[in-house]
Amino acid sequence: MAKLRENGFALALAAGLTLALLVGIVYSISASGRDVASRTETLHAAHETIQAAVTARSQVELGAYQASLLAQGLTVDESTIDRAAERASAAIDRAVASHSQLVAGDSSSPQLVVAFADFRTTGVTAIDEFSARTPTATDDFNAAYESLMSELTAIRDGQFSAVSSGQHSDSLASAVAGFLAVFVIPAAVIATYFVLDRRRRRQHELEVALEAERAALNSRERFLMTVSQELRKPLTGVRAIAQLLAADEELMSQPRMTDLHALLVGELDDMSAVVEDLLTTSRLDAGALDYAIEPIQVRDEVRALLDTLNHRGASVYLAMDEGVVNADRRRLRQIVRNLLANALKYGGPNIEIKGQAEADSYTVLVIDDGHGVPGAIEDQLFNRFVDSRDGSQNVGLGLSIVMALAVGMGGTAFHQREDGLTRFGVRLPNAGPVPEDEQPDEATMVPVAQATG
């Protein structure tokens, strides 16, 4: 009996020690979890500050670029400058709020405080300058941005490593606790396991999401730097040279100069379209693309657009009903330009732009007599960067932007192949019925002047 009592005491003591150890392990895991949660909040604040700084920089660059074009006497939509100033100011305000969280959580540093103050001061100065429509130098702002990003990236990476380490420690402690509790209190071990497992899954999902956001942010940073530094400035310089050449009557009177100048302007227009598509894609991905919806006479707008484009020797005809749609004028032009560019690049030599007014919508069709779309990519035409299997044709950004802009304005885009003709079109909502005295009996086929380039 005494031996039994001794064994019972030993078992009770072992169970008590095991339970105490289990409680200690659980407490350690809980403390580690709180530390991970705190560091995750700091990581989130650093990420929000970085994201706001990237947005502010992109908008300052855009506003400064538009202001420089305006200062050169070029035609610029000044509302773009105002929107860039508004968004840049809002982004700086968001960065201030996120940075305040870092300071409140004792995660800042003297270097970060100084870098952020420089970024904010130079950013506000740049915004004030291009808002006043004056040429804006962004060198100081870019230098402050790079310094700020260096400090924020160091904080973000440090917190990310700490969170990952905490997660690993939690996993190891959970395994030990499960092993001990199986022999003492099975019910407690099951409950503890599920609690810890649920927490671990939440932490893992958060880590995956943060890693994806960091990769997307890095990609967007590289994209914006490439566009702003390697495309915009050279493009502006070449366009200025083209304008100087056009103003030299003696030079333009020389043989083939008119054709060469038209070719140069056409290539500049194509490059400008590429830059516009890249910027549009970036804004779509960031959810920062706004639409200035207004009633637009579609036929007049398309005709005005065609007068500015290089048709590369193709015969382009216009046959459009009268119609008024609710759309953003700039985005409508971008849609038609991308559809026409697609037809010029991949379609046949004869291109027709048709407009069909319907009961509650208006359809714009770009039709060509080319060979059509390879069947391998027909279902993916409005996706980004799709190649046919034989390499004969690929889809870049143009058609995906057409679909995104059409949907953003309450419409849709589509593709058809009928009677040997390829049709790409968009359908947009009507702004209202067209007065009967403005409706022609039938659409007229009007040839648009060819460009020799």
pLDDT in tens, 221-273: 566 546 655 666 676 777 788 777 777 777 777 777 777 776 776 676 667 66
Q: What is the mean pLDDT of the chain?
A: 76
**Lowest-pLDDT choice from 116-120, 263-267, 372-376, 424-428:** 263-267
Q: Is the Cβ–Cβ distance between 60 and 86 less than 8 Å?
A: no
Which sign does the torsion angle of CA 283, 287, 290, 296 carry? Answer: positive
* Digit-coded pLDDT (tens) for 76-120: 788 888 898 899 899 889 888 888 877 776 666 788 888 888 888
Residue 30, pLDDT score: 56
In Å, how far are 39, 123, 240, 243, 260 from 246, measured between CA atoms? 61, 37, 10, 5, 11
SS3 317: strand
Count of helices and strands (H, E) across the chain: 11, 10
pLDDT of residue 31 exceeding 80: no
pLDDT grade for 429, boundaries at 50, 70 and 90 = very high
The domain ranges of the chain are 2-230, 296-448
Model confidence, pTM: 0.47
- The contacts of residue 83 (CB under 8 Å, 6+ apart) are 290
CATH code, 296-448: 3.30.565.10
Round to whole Å and give the CA distance between 107 and 46. 9
In Å, how far are 38, 56, 100, 163, 164 from 168, measured between CA atoms? 16, 36, 30, 9, 6
End-to-end Cα distance, the chain: 109
Q: Hey, what long-range contacts does 195-200 have (CB within 8 A, 24 or more apart)?
A: 196/29, 196/170, 199/33, 199/170, 200/167, 200/170, 200/171, 200/174
In sequence order, the β-bridge partners of residue 263 are none
Q: Could you count the other beta carbons within 10 Å of the beta carbon of residue 95? A: 25
Residue among 105, 1, 452 nearest 258 (CA): 452
| Residue type at position 249 | E
